[in-house]
Amino acid sequence: MTSWTFCDQLGEDQGTIGDQEAHHLLHVLRIALNAPLTLFDGRGTEAQAIVTAVSRRDLTFRILSRQQHSRPSRPSVIVAASPPKGDRLKWMVEKLTEMGVDRLVLLHTQRTNETPGDTRVDKLRAHAVAACKQCRRPYLLDILPLKPLSSVLDERTKSLGSGQLFIAHPGGAALPGQTSDLTHLQEACVLIGPEGGFADEEVVAAISAGAVPLSWPETILRIETAAVVFGALLMSRCFASRPISPAGS
């Protein structure tokens, strides 16, 4: 299998790869002249290419063929999560990418402590690229910078007719029967709170905006675990051929 490499400019028949991608190809994989490459741009384009020149810091390629991957024929799955600390956020980005979640919104709530700036978000996108390379995903996880819960609720309210909003909160259902099949919607979004959970007034505001409360039976999940668990549950409902029974049924 040829090396899968990220290159955000695949419109021309020739191009150059530099920076971290070039370092990995040249000094880790020891890519040489005339070696084959599989390139992807994170927007669905995959290209077969050949290396035409190498230097210490970059390499040049020529594209032999291209193919455009279609978006999955299912609703978009969005996870809006209060950022966990340190490497836990990196892990969350990697796993959501591997799962196929479409968008991660970094959510600011009353109890949010971690507030990643633009530089951190750029690094998170680099982790998403690495995860795409690992799992052969042609579309990047869309990562949105820190956004207030109120803004997310306003956006969800406007699109309620085409989507469904959920909120992870103790005491909610394990996924109510009436939402067992999400395949007819354009998108499904789940809100994940910070350590300590959402404030009571935030839960009320989310439910008023149409959010359905969800919970995991018996235990309280950490932020990154909840993001993966509930993201996976929504993914399964977007592909659902038969309902998943609520816990305890």
Contacts of 10 (CB under 8 A, 6+ apart): 39, 40, 41, 45, 47, 63, 66
**In terms of residue numbers, what domain contains 175?**
76-238
Q: Is the pLDDT of residue 44 over 60?
A: yes
CATH number at residue 57: 2.40.240.20
107 and 16: one domain?
A: no
The pLDDT tens digits of the residues spanning 106-146 come to: 999 999 998 888 888 999 999 999 999 999 999 999 999 99
- For the ranges 9-18, 203-212, 236-245, which has the lowest average pLDDT? 236-245
Tell me: do 154 and 34 sit in the same domain. Answer: no
Is the domain of 88 the same as that of 192? Answer: yes
- Asked whether residue 165 falls in the same domain as residue 42, the answer is no
Please give the tally of structural domains in the chain. Answer: 2
What are the start-end ranges of the H helices in the chain? 19-23, 87-99, 118-135, 149-158, 200-208, 223-238
Tens of pLDDT, residues 222-235: 999 999 999 999 99
Same domain, 104 and 167: yes
- Residues 228, 121 within the same domain: yes
Total Cβ atoms within 10 A of residue 119 = 8
Residue 100's CATH number: 3.40.1280.10
Instruction: Tell me, yes or no, whether 21 and 112 share the same domain.
Output: no
Residue 246 inside a domain? The answer is no
Q: Are residues 117 and 63 part of one domain?
A: no
Same domain, 92 and 184: yes
- Ranking 53-62, 93-102, 180-189, 233-242 by mean pLDDT, the lowest is 233-242
